[in-house]
Amino acid sequence: MTKEGVREKVALIGSGNWIIGGNVTKYDEFQQEVKMWVFEEIINGRKLTDLINEKHENVKYLPGFTIPENVKAVPDLLDFVFDICDKLKGQIHPSTKAISLIKGFESSETGIRPMSQVISESLRISVCSLSGANIANEIAAEKFSETTIGFNDHEEGELFKKLFETKYFHVGIVDDVVGVELCGALKNVIAIGCGIVDGLKLGENTKAAIIRIGFLEMQKFMKMFYNGIKDETFFESCGIADVIATCYGEKELLQGQKLQGTLTVKEINRVLSREGLNDEYVLIITFNY
């Protein structure tokens, strides 16, 4: 139970297979039902939400993997928690806790805003972040993986750790919300470089050099533009491990999703050009051409 003796209600925005359905049944802190907002699609004449609730399986994005029966797919975001933040405004309690699994950011005239900051400022709630070397199909197949949760409040970090951790999915927590999520976004820049190396058949030594230089530039960029980034964050699953998994792992099917790294490169280059720092980030600048 929480300090107030009330069970936390858990809701998901997005239909990724994130273990939560099974974990809420293990702890007194959580209500047993988990509502999962799914963008409604028609699959062979049937609504995707109906198929998920009937078959307990995401037949389009994670076929063959069971979703716990206490997870209910719903097409209306207001059933549990806004497009997306706009619909949520005024609909959620100030004590609501959120965690962002988004490996991206919002770009603005003044720079790059982490999504946790966007959500927190829009909804006026506390937001943690989760990122790591987490290829979805491997987690669904219960292959051992690690991830990292960034928190501002240690108690919230521990609460979300309970929600996500299993014997095959180990969760580390760090006091660095922004660092965790920016690692998840910026690693895609390094992945583009490694993809170019693979395409040109330049070899593993060249790829290793790209990873080393890219990782250093990633660290430098984050610490230059964001206060409070911790050195240890880069050596958690969200940092170097995610870079390795992305650059050396099996190719993942995008399934209609955009390649994030190209957009990330453009936004970072815009920031660097505005600040006159192009010469200090040779690798990142190169990938923009």
39 is in an annotated binding site: yes
Three-state SS letters, 70-135: CEEEECCHHHCCCCCHHHHCCCCCCCCEEEECCCCEEEECCEEEEHHHHHHHHHCCEEEEEECCCC
* 43 token code pair: 């699959």
CA distance 183 to 185: 5
Residues 6+ apart with CB under 8 A from 197: 203, 206, 207, 210
Q: Is 208 annotated as a binding residue?
A: no
Look up 187 and say whether it is catalytic.
yes
- The candidate with the shortest Cα–Cα distance to 161, out of 71, 97, 222, is 97
Neighbours of 254 (CB within 10 A): 9
The angle, 0 to 180 degrees and rounded to 10, between the axes of the packed helices 260-275 and 204-225 is: 50
Catalytic residue among 35, 161, 187, 207: 187
Nearest by Cα to 36 from 70, 82, 74, 78: 74
Q: How does DSSP classify residue 241?
A: I
Q: Residues 111, 116, 118, CA angle at the centre, nearest 5°?
A: 55
The answer to whether the bond into 84 is cis (omega within 30° of 0) is: yes
Torsion angle (degrees, nearest 10) of CA 88, 258, 142, 70 = 30
Q: Which residues are annotated as a binding site for NAD(+)?
A: 39, 136
**Would you please indicate which residues are annotated as catalytic (active-site) residues?**
187
